[in-house]
Amino acid sequence: MLELIQDDGGVTVSSEQLARRGHTTAAQVRKDLSHFGSFGKRGLGYSVDELKDRLRIILGLDRVWRVILIGAGRIGSALFEYPDFKKRGYDCVAVVDSDPAKIGEKWGERVIRPAEELESLIKELRATLVILAVPASAAQLVAERSVNAGVRGILNFAPVQIQVPEDIPVENVNLVMELEALSFQITRALTP
Amino acid sequence: MLELIQDDGGVTVSSEQLARRGHTTAAQVRKDLSHFGSFGKRGLGYSVDELKDRLRIILGLDRVWRVILIGAGRIGSALFEYPDFKKRGYDCVAVVDSDPAKIGEKWGERVIRPAEELESLIKELRATLVILAVPASAAQLVAERSVNAGVRGILNFAPVQIQVPEDIPVENVNLVMELEALSFQITRALTP
DNA sequence: AGACGCTTGTGAAAAGCTTCACAAGAAAGT
DNA sequence: ACTTTCTTGTGAAGCTTTTCACAAGCGTCT
Ligand SMILES: NC(=O)c1ccc[n+]([C@@H]2O[C@H](COP(=O)([O-])OP(=O)(O)OC[C@H]3O[C@@H](n4cnc5c(N)ncnc54)[C@H](O)[C@@H]3O)[C@@H](O)[C@H]2O)c1
Ligand SMILES: NC(=O)c1ccc[n+]([C@@H]2O[C@H](COP(=O)([O-])OP(=O)(O)OC[C@H]3O[C@@H](n4cnc5c(N)ncnc54)[C@H](O)[C@@H]3O)[C@@H](O)[C@H]2O)c1
């Protein structure tokens, strides 16, 4: 988005402009940014270059995150080939699966590794994140093993609530719930 | 989740129990449920059966929703084979794609239809929801066409903000953002 | 029937978040 | 140098959500 503004020839951007694009208000943008220091110029706005740098640092995007994909099934393969992860700094350094038929299969540059190697791969490759794309029944165990091996965050596709220590963030992707959210909004609109 | 409680032999469940499982507080659960009427029994809790029925109605899950999948690519094929959608009342009644090489391909019971038929399929099959699994560049146009043909809600996988009328709910699935949320939380924990 | 143990439903208080409003600062023109 | 025009940063006000606290209700045991 900031790139678009630069392409339009802007070197600075006001909270008002950011708000319009981000479906929010100018005051909100300023409050949010002020939490991370004050780097806007009064009367002018924010330097797009500086804003990009700051956001990169604030969001922790100023480095490449090493990710291990656990579960080489349907959703796993779609995710593996999703180019945006790499583009945005998430490097899938390994894929593991428990199915002997899949182990050894070549996916692009990577070979599917056996699930038993999960801990050693996390340590050797210094992976910080895992993507959990295994059946719900396996999710809790695999998550625990990952955390014990040193993983710092989990993106969970299994439709279960995973229990891990408080300081390990977990983001859940529950597509059924997203559809249910749509159903709810549609239903509510009809019966107020 | 309510099924689990039933399997454990519970016919009623207290707000306290619900809260523990749902990572929230008992007061919160009661407030939420009280918005839809008061159907708990004091001293006892909520009847699991009744709660299930009520939630089904509240969430609009008491009917089957007809969904059309737009884009038979990597993520589209993973979603199509995801059994939980059907199980939870979301029936994928058609798949469309613009790629001539894919049109006509058989996916289970369905045949991939040409993208031009989108409007007529929505009308004929009375589809209420679409899942947008097309490249970002095509998403806005396809969304507009869907809404004009009568779709009431959109689950959008393309990494763009879609503009549709206010009364059409859109749920966005942005996996890169989920990873960035993890990165942010991890980074923030390190540098307070 | 009455006492007791639990749990809901709901005002009221607290906390959190958003919007308002404006002094203060930065550039550009006069 | 002064005025005008923008726009930030931030207390204060306003609003929403969450938590607290407790009377009222239900079932059970004696
Ligand atoms: N397919 C989808 O569109 C979709 C969408 C949302 C969520 N999900 C969820 O994602 C998970 C995977 O779904 P899927 O459709 O890819 O299923 P899948 O059966 O195609 O793939 C699961 C893979 O995990 C592997 N696996 C099982 N146990 C393992 C373990 N202990 N360690 C490592 N690998 C193991 C299996 O061998 C298999 O290859 C499920 O929990 C599902 O509910 C899937
Ligand atoms: N692969 C993933 O894991 C993943 C994850 C999140 C989001 N996404 C997003 O989902 C979308 C699809 O991703 P993908 O990996 O499946 O891509 P893909 O290229 O594999 O599939 C896209 C499909 O859409 C079809 N298509 C293109 N234009 C169309 C149109 N106008 N009407 C109908 N069909 C059309 C193409 O023929 C293709 O089959 C992209 O926007 C992507 O950013 C993908």
Q: What is the pLDDT along chain A (192 residues), one digit of tens a residue?
A: 666 656 665 688 999 999 988 889 999 999 999 988 888 899 899 999 999 998 888 888 888 999 999 999 999 999 999 999 999 999 999 999 999 999 999 999 999 999 999 999 999 999 999 999 999 999 999 999 999 999 999 999 999 989 999 889 999 999 999 999 999 889 887 765
The residue written with tokens 């279960």 in the block is A160
Position B61 pLDDT exceeds 90: no
> Which chain B residues 10-39 have CB under 7 A to strand C?
14-16, 26-27, 30-31, 33-34, 38-39
Distance in angstroms (rounded) separating the CA atoms of residues A29 and A14: 9
Of B45, B43, B42, B38, residue with least CA distance to B11:
B45
Q: Which helix (H) or strand (E) holds B141?
A: helix B136-148
Q: Which DSSP symbol is given to A89?
A: T
Q: Mind listing the pLDDT tens digit for each residue in A42-84?
A: 989 999 999 999 888 888 888 899 999 999 999 999 999 999 9
Q: Mind listing the pLDDT tens digit for each residue in B90-132?
A: 999 999 999 999 999 999 999 999 999 999 999 999 999 999 9
Please compute Rg for chain B using Cα positions: 21
- The topology (CATH level 3) of B65-176 is Rossmann fold (3.40.50)
pLDDT of residue A189: 75
Distance in angstroms (rounded) separating the CA atoms of residues B47 and B32: 16
Instruction: Enumerate the CATH 3.40.50.720 domain ranges in chain B, comma separated.
Output: 65-176
Domain over B12-58 is classified CATH 3.30.9.10 = no
Instruction: Enumerate the CATH 1.10.10.10 domain ranges in chain A, comma separated.
Output: 12-58
Q: How far is the CA of A103 from the centre of ligand 2 (A)?
A: 27
Distance in angstroms (rounded) separating the CA atoms of residues B81 and B158: 19
Test mutation, A93, A180, A188, A190, chain B, max B CBs within 10 A: A180
Size of interface A-B (CB pairs under 8 A): 129
Nearest to B152 among A154, A176, A186 (CB): A186
Task: Tell me the whole-structure pTM to 2 decimals.
Answer: 0.91
